[in-house]
């Protein structure tokens, strides 16, 4: 099982540490926060491969972190001699009999523990070439990866091979289905991994004898005899036909999985990706096997995704899974508690969510929790009319709609507390805009005291004199005449106007949102958007 990954100078990550929990780990983040990079890095250190190619043979300078690349080049141009930067992925593993040989202190934290390290570092054998390379710093654009060598070691400092790595990983990236001859690379891997060693030996043996039988088949023998009798035009040696039984031609390259008698590659992409996920999940539980799933929502219809998520949940009880997702649905279903919000240097977890809140989001699986998680700042309101008014208020003050500034206005009904519970561990700047509903605003605010103790959370309640809800509050802040103008109405009393507004909440809010007239916003809304 994986305990922790430390990534240095790889892609987006300059110095990144992420601890894993047993079971499900759901990686969430905006585009370009490195969700896929984490999966890629874990897979790299377990297989030596990136996108199915051995990195040691294919090290690209573009895999190096951009900041470190710029810094390195700048230092060179400043006339100094910086050490060419290393790229490191350290994967810390749980102690077990299978990982015992990987124990040592060759890791970034100097812990005496079990793990694997992939490192690309400058190779001093290229000293002459490198000297020529740095002689003209102005022409340098990238890190000279061609003078690097890759090492794949255990924390014991000894080289490892794909065979000696005790943890296997299935990467399931439904979006990228690559095909080789026969079964595709990781489908092969998944099938191979599903079999016990004894079954694998049996499969290999049967396949081998099948090929050998081919040569013994009477009709083939006859053909071969005929060929032997043919006088050699090119060579004096005997010519005969047989099947390649070299290592290259093992069962993996010839056997193709079939779904309902249809070769796997002819099955729809959605089916392929769910099958791959399920094959990976079906592995034996006792194995040190990690499943890396990239965006399971890809290629899947909503119903099929629902089925798949239910299966993932059921099958993953005793194993470690890393999932990246863009989908609030997937996130809510799999459980917010397992969420890891990626940052530049690590991950943020929603530890300490109450079971009630977890359950709430799981039931409201369609709810857009990711909006709160990914926003830089959130304003929580009760309903769509409040949302429109707040948007307008924000634009009046800041000149742009809130979403421009990464501020998300989210209507959450009466579930403010559920969302605030999410906001606390995220330390997300959050404002609540709420009615006083006839209560003393101070009392209403006091109800959120446990949240407002955090300086990043504020609660804004309609003032006492301004009415119970948004509509009278708006009227209190503006004249009846002004509002009548905006709505195209002509109510003679405040009472009638409020009644109209309350019965046509959204229409009125939309009219205000679109109106060219200057509108005075109630004080509590102005505070919230400040």
Partner 1 sequence: MPSPRQLAVIAAAGSRKTEFIITEALAHPYKRVLLTTYTLNNLACIRERIYRKARHIPAHITITSWYSFLSRHWCRPYQRTVLGTPGVLRGIDFQSDLPRFIPESDARRYFCNRAGDLYKDRVADFAVKADAAAGGAAVRRLEELYDEVYIDEVQDLAYYDLDVLDSLLHSGIHVVVVGDPRQHTYATNQNSRNRQYRGARIVGWLGQRTDVCTIEHRTVSYRCNQAICDFADALYPDLPTTTSANLEIVEPTGILRLSRADLQAHVVAFGPAVLRHNARTDTLGLPAINFGASKGSTFEHVVIFPTTPIRTYLRTRDPSGLAAEARSKLYVAVTRARHSAAFVI
**Which residues are at the interface with partner 1 (CB under 8 A)?**
100-101, 103-107, 110, 112, 117, 119, 121, 124-125, 151, 153, 155-158
Least distance CB 101 / partner 1 (angstroms): 6
Residue with smaller CB distance to partner 1, 121 or 245: 121
Residue with smaller CB distance to partner 1, 103 or 454: 103
CB 462, CB 436: distance < 8 Å = yes
Residue with smaller CB distance to partner 1, 113 or 458: 113
Phi, psi of 497 (to 5 degrees): -65, -45
Residue with smaller CB distance to partner 1, 163 or 237: 163
Residue with smaller CB distance to partner 1, 86 or 494: 86
Least distance CB 203 / partner 1 (angstroms): 20
Whole-angstrom distance, CA of residue 522 vs CA of residue 463: 8
Do the strands 24-28 and 339-342 form a parallel or antiparallel pair, or are they unpaired? parallel
CB 151, CB 117: distance < 8 Å = yes
Count the alpha carbons within 13 Å of 47 in the hemisphere toward its beta carbon: 22
Q: Closest Cα partner for 470 from 404, 517, 528, 515?
A: 528
3-class secondary structure, 405: helix
Whole-angstrom distance, CA of residue 186 vs CA of residue 106: 30
Least distance CB 6 / partner 1 (angstroms): 13
Least distance CB 154 / partner 1 (angstroms): 8
**Residue 93: alpha-carbon gap to chain centroid:** 21
Give counts: helices (H), strands (E), the chain.
21, 20
365-375 burial code (b ≥16 CB/10 A, e <16): bebbbbebbbb
DSSP state of 442: H
Residue with smaller CB distance to partner 1, 37 or 107: 107
Residue with smaller CB distance to partner 1, 112 or 138: 112
Least distance CB 189 / partner 1 (angstroms): 22
Residue with smaller CB distance to partner 1, 41 or 120: 120
Do the strands 320-324 and 289-294 form a parallel or antiparallel pair, or are they unpaired? parallel
Least distance CB 391 / partner 1 (angstroms): 55
Least distance CB 156 / partner 1 (angstroms): 4
Least distance CB 63 / partner 1 (angstroms): 19
**330 burial level (CB within 10 Å; 0-12, 13-18, 19+):** buried
């Amino acid at each position: 099982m994986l305990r922790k990954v430390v990534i240095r100078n790889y892609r987006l990550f300059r110095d990144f540490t992420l601890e894993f929990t047993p079971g499900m780990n759901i990686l969430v983040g905006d585009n370009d926060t490195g969700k896929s990079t984490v999966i890629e890095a874990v897979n790299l250190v377990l297989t030596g491969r990136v996108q199915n190619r051995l990195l040691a043979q294919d090290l690209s300078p573009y895999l190096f972190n951009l900041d470190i690349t710029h810094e390195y080049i700048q230092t060179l141009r400043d006339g100094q001699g910086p050490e060419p930067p290393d790229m490191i992925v350290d994967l810390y593993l749980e102690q077990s009999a299978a990982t015992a040989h990987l124990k040592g202190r060759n890791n970034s934290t100097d812990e005496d523990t079990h793990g694997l390290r992939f490192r690309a570092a400058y190779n001093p054998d290229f000293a002459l070439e490198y000297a020529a390379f740095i002689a003209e710093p102005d022409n340098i654009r990238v890190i000279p990866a061609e003078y690097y060598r890759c090492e794949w070691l255990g924390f014991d400092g000894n080289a490892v091979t794909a065979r000696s790595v005790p943890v296997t990983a299935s990467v399931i990236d439904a979006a990228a289905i690559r095909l080789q001859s026969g079964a595709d690379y990781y489908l092969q891997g998944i099938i191979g991994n599903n079999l016990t060693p004894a079954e694998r030996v049996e499969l290999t043996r049967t396949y081998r004898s099948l090929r050998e039988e081919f040569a013994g088949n009477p009709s083939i023998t006859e053909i071969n005899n005929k060929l032997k009798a043919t006088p050699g035009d090119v060579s004096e040696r005997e010519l005969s036909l047989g099947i390649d039984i070299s290592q290259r031609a093992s069962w993996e390259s010839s056997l193709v999985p079939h779904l309902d008698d249809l070769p796997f590659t002819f099955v729809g992409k959605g089916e392929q990706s769910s099958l791959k996920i399920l094959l990976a999940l079906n592995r034996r539980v006792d194995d040190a096997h990690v499943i890396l799933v990239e965006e399971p929502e890809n290629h899947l219809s909503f119903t099929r995704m629902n089925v798949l998520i239910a299966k993932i949940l059921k099958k993953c009880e005793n194993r470690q899974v890393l999932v990246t997702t863009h989908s609030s649905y997937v996130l809510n279903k799999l459980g917010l508690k397992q969420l890891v919000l990626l940052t530049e240097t690590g991950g943020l977890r929603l530890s300490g969510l109450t079971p009630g809140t977890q359950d709430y989001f799981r039931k409201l699986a369609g709810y857009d929790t990711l909006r709160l998680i990914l926003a830089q700042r959130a304003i929580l309101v009760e309903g769509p009319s409040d949302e429109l008014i707040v948007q307008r208020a924000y634009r009046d003050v800041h000149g742009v709609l809130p979403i421009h500034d990464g501020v998300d206005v989210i209507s959450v009904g009466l579930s403010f507390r559920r969302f605030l519970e999410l906001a606390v561990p995220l330390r997300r700047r959050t404002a609540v805009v709420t009615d006083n509903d006839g209560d003393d605003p101070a009392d209403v605010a006091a109800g959120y005291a446990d949240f407002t103790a955090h300086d990043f959370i504020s609660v804004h309640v309609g003032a006492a004199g301004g009415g119970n809800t948004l509509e009278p509050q708006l009227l209190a802040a503006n004249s009846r005449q002004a509002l009548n103008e905006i709505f195209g109405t002509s109510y003679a009393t405040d009472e009638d106007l409020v009644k109209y507004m309350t019965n046509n909440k959204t229409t009125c809010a939309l009219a205000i949102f679109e109106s060219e007239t200057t509108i005075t916003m109630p004080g509590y809304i102005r505070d919230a958007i400040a």
